[in-house]
Amino acid sequence: MLWIAAVGSTLILYWIYDGYGRFLQLISGVWSGGGGPAVSEAGASLPTVTVLLTVHNEERVVRRRIENLLACDYPADRFEVLVASDGSTDATNEIVRSFGESRVRLLESPGLGKTATQNLAMKQIASELVVFTDADVEFELQWVRRVVRCFQDTRVGAVDGRLYYGRPTTADVQACEGYYWRYEMKLRDLESRLGILAVLSGCCFAMRRALFVEMDPAIGEDCIVPLDIVCGRHLVVHEPSALVYDEFGNDSAVTLRRRIRMTLRNWQGTWTRSHLLNPFRHPGYAFALWSHKILRWLSPVFLLTATLTSAALLVVQPSLASLAMFGPFAGLFLLAGCHWLADGRRRILPGSGTAYSFVLANLAFIIGVWRAVTGQQIRAYRNS
């Protein structure tokens, strides 16, 4: 029984963090699923675009963010920025007003929370396409055009870009990404090709305004919008050439809190569209959502099961086989512990940062899922 639990949990963990991606890679080579958008480089008329920038006390970065958006390569007469400021008490609103340009509008919300503020802002938008973004990221200047061209295919309802961790001024942007995020981007690209993508990044996606469904204030736009898009029989597409830059956070406590919030809100949001998880009704989306989201959020359960049962095997049935089963899990937690103890020092063991990040993510998953199933909700806007 211990062997079954240890091996079974280990295989599920492998599926979550490697096997699923390899399987998608295999089937994408023989079947495209009609998922990729039919894009022509010919001069189709460009749609009107409104960038919805939702902020709360972002005086430090809001000017730079708006300047970045206005510098994007898109016709000025078909492009605007709506800054939805949710209860900001610093100089954010004054900075937005200081632009004095018709393409920059300000909507002040009385502290409703991010999602509720976005619902309010959407009532002020008449553009054909709406871009959702945050204040602490930066678009590559061709981002809007590269995303917009995907909407030439009428099947496409939403498009997200490729989020890089690192600024474009760094020597090697890709070096700033961890394994976890590279794998996430790989999954989105493959699911997009296969026509089964139902996730996107809340800081860098666009959607057809006509497809917007008012959101539950307790659920994030990055979760519920793609689910509603596919419920309406449209495609969610990942555009890897549309680059967006962010920075890794250095504060583990802040990172943990953010991941807990994201897990809580996304778990609750996904189950509000539970019919998409039914493999008999939506086989492709159910397969992707269970493998990409649900099982990943539950991965700490399998990680603990595999670790504890393999440790018990080593005690009860000491052998090379049981040692080989327990060794990788012992090494994982040992490396993570070493990184935690050495955090802030110059000498860090190779691989310990990856191990620590993995354990931290799994800690956030289990806390977030627990809070979600016990009925906790988050509506207030938080930057950290």
Mean pLDDT in residue range 348-373: 88
Q: How confident is the model at residue 340 (pLDDT cuts 50, 70, 90)?
A: confident
> Token pair for residue 256?
């943990």
Q: How confident is the model at residue 382 (pLDDT cuts 50, 70, 90)?
A: low
Residue 342's pLDDT is: 76
Residue 354's pLDDT is: 82
Query: Cα–Cα distance between 259 and 253 in angstroms, integer?
Result: 10
Query: Cα–Cα distance between 285 and 340 in angstroms, integer?
Result: 38
**79-86 vs 104-109, strand pairing mode:** parallel
pLDDT in tens, 266-284: 999 999 999 999 999 999 9
pLDDT exceeds cutoff 70 at 301: yes
Task: Look at 347 and 202; give whichever has higher pLDDT.
Answer: 202
Assess contact for 151 and 40: CB atoms under 8 A: no
Mean pLDDT in residue range 174-178: 46
Task: Look at 39 and 293; give whichever has higher pLDDT.
Answer: 293
Query: Cα–Cα distance between 359 and 155 in angstroms, integer?
Result: 39
Q: Give the helix ranges, DSSP H, for 195-220.
A: none
Query: Cα–Cα distance between 365 and 102 in angstroms, integer?
Result: 43
Kindly write down the DSSP assignment for every residue of 73-92, as one continuous string. Answer: SS-GGGEEEEEEEES--SSH
Mean pLDDT in residue range 341-358: 73
pLDDT exceeds cutoff 70 at 346: no
Kindly write down the DSSP assignment for every residue of 162-199, as one continuous string. Answer: EEEES-TTSS-GGGG--HHHHHHHHHHHHHHHHT----
Which domains can be identified in the chain, with CATH numbers?
1-31+252-384 (no CATH), 49-248 (3.90.550.10)
pLDDT in tens, 139-152: 999 999 999 999 99
Q: How confident is the model at residue 173 (pLDDT cuts 50, 70, 90)?
A: very low
pLDDT exceeds cutoff 90 at 90: yes
Give the position of tokens 């200081």. 98
Query: Cα–Cα distance between 34 and 30 in angstroms, integer?
Result: 12
**If you average pLDDT over every residue of the chain, what do you get?**
90
Q: How confident is the model at residue 39 (pLDDT cuts 50, 70, 90)?
A: low
Q: How confident is the model at residue 170 (pLDDT cuts 50, 70, 90)?
A: very low
Residue 283's pLDDT is: 96
Contacts of 119 (CB under 8 A, 6+ apart): 214, 215, 217
**79-86 vs 49-55, strand pairing mode:** parallel
Q: How confident is the model at residue 204 (pLDDT cuts 50, 70, 90)?
A: very high
Q: How confident is the model at residue 38 (pLDDT cuts 50, 70, 90)?
A: low
Among residues 181, 267, 195, 271, which one has the least CA distance to residue 236? 195
